[in-house]
Amino acid sequence: MKRLAVIDGKSVFYRGYYAMPSLSLPDGTPTGGVYGFASIAIELIKQLEPDYVAVAWDKPKTNIRKRREIYPEYKAGRKAPPLDFYEQIPILKELLDAFGWPFYELDDYEADDILGTFAKQATDRGVETRLLTSDLD
């Protein structure tokens, strides 16, 4: 049976970002989050040995509009990550491209929604699916 691993990119990136020291390139560009993400993701991929890997991401700002219409307190009070968190995302996308792992983000959908959709579609096609996330919701 074929296997698909879908990574909740922002969730794993957050975990890696806060777990790693402030690493940077010689020019000062921060890379700790990218290194942390890569370390976590590669270890999980080694263990799971999937045939396919995809990364889902929460698209900035647009992903919570509908949820806030239903529940106004949704994600209320969350602190924004430091600026160097966002500075690393283009580098992460380059890394994912080098790995051959597609990156998915959609207006009005969170990574959780994308993970669930991929899991359902893959299962319907006989593909075993593993979701990699540290998200609690």
> How do residues 36-85 score in pLDDT, each as one tens digit?
999 999 999 999 999 999 999 988 766 566 767 777 776 666 777 888 99
Helix axes 111-124, 9-19, angle to 10 degrees: 120
- Is residue 126 over pLDDT 90? yes
28: left (phi over 0), alpha (psi -120 to 50) or beta: left
User: Phi, psi at residue 129, to the nearest 5°?
Assistant: -125, 135
**Worst-scoring range by mean pLDDT, 10-14, 21-25, 26-30?**
21-25
- Is residue 137 over pLDDT 70? no
In a domain, 98, yes or no: yes
CATH code of residue 97: 3.40.50.1010
- pLDDT given for residue 74 in this prediction: 66
Q: 10 Å Cβ neighbour count for 114?
A: 22
Contact 51/119 with Cβ under 8 angstroms? Answer: no
In a domain, 89, yes or no: yes
In a domain, 137, yes or no: no
In a domain, 25, yes or no: yes
- pLDDT given for residue 34 in this prediction: 97
Residue range(s) defining the domain that contains residue 87: 3-132
In a domain, 123, yes or no: yes
Q: Say how far apart CA 81 and CA 30 lie, in whole Å.
A: 14
